[in-house]
A and B are shown apart, each in its own frame.
Chain A
């Protein structure tokens, strides 16, 4: 059974930093693109970053490029999102998600972790 478990969220002041983790199990972690999708309170979905299974290719949304860094450790089956220079508009529920394949859809999601940036 595929499981994705996020951790590391919380309350952080504007301009601060936070690192999210996503522990994966139930599939061959290194074989899949993984990503972070966020949802601001009462709003829609935004894919902020993804990384290929070999850690070679990354994607960042314009809204976070230069501030967020995605990484993964296949020895620990864990993905990370280092978030720096946080802004009020980064307040959201952050989901870890596994991509189904080359088609670009996300077939498994974690339960989400809340990040609140205080202004």
Chain B
């Protein structure tokens, strides 16, 4: 059974800084079908990245995804005030078919 581990648990940064979030899988992610979501309090998750590096519709280019196999990264090049939230990674294809990481909270320093 595949497990996704996100790090760090909490990341404290200031607007304008660069954020790097990690998602590590316990086994290789099929076809690199790895997605990233942003969730703000009281809102549904928003898809940012799928297939490890493809930005979803309407997502600003300051968000980028990279990685393959078992190690994936979400980078926010220059943090805007509205970017602070909880971020989840999710894989598709290994058992169980859909798996989410436990989340990384990005907070204002």
Note all chain A residues with C-beta closer than 8 A to B102.
Answer: 44
* B92 pairs with A105, CB closer than 8 A: yes
B89 to chain A, nearest CB (A): 10
B92 to chain A, nearest CB (A): 2
A12 on interface, CB distance cutoff 8 Å:
no
Q: Within B52-90, which residues are at the interface with A (CB < 8 Å)?
A: 54, 56-57, 88, 90
B45 on interface, CB distance cutoff 8 Å:
yes
CA of A47 to CA of B95, assembled, Å: 12
* A59 pairs with B47, CB closer than 8 A: no
Of the four ranges (under 10, 10 to 19, 20 to 34, 35 or more), the interface on chain A belongs to 20 to 34
Note all chain A residues with C-beta closer than 8 A to B103.
Answer: 44
CA of A65 to CA of B47, assembled, Å: 26
CA of A100 to CA of B47, assembled, Å: 10
Given contacts A100-B56, A104-B33, A104-B92, contact A109 B45 (CB under 8 A): yes
* B88 pairs with A44, CB closer than 8 A: yes
- A interface, CB within 8 angstroms of B: 35, 37, 44-47, 50, 59, 61-62, 95, 100, 103-107, 109-112
List the 7 shortest-distance A-B pairs measured between CB atoms, nearest first. Answer: A104-B92, A47-B98, A105-B35, A105-B50, A109-B44, A45-B100, A104-B33
Q: List 29 A-B contacts (CB under 8 A).
A: A44-B101, A44-B102, A45-B45, A45-B100, A47-B99, A50-B97, A59-B98, A61-B96, A62-B96, A95-B44, A95-B45, A103-B54, A104-B91, A104-B97, A105-B33, A105-B50, A105-B56, A105-B90, A105-B92, A106-B35, A106-B45, A106-B47, A107-B47, A107-B50, A107-B56, A109-B44, A109-B46, A110-B44, A112-B44
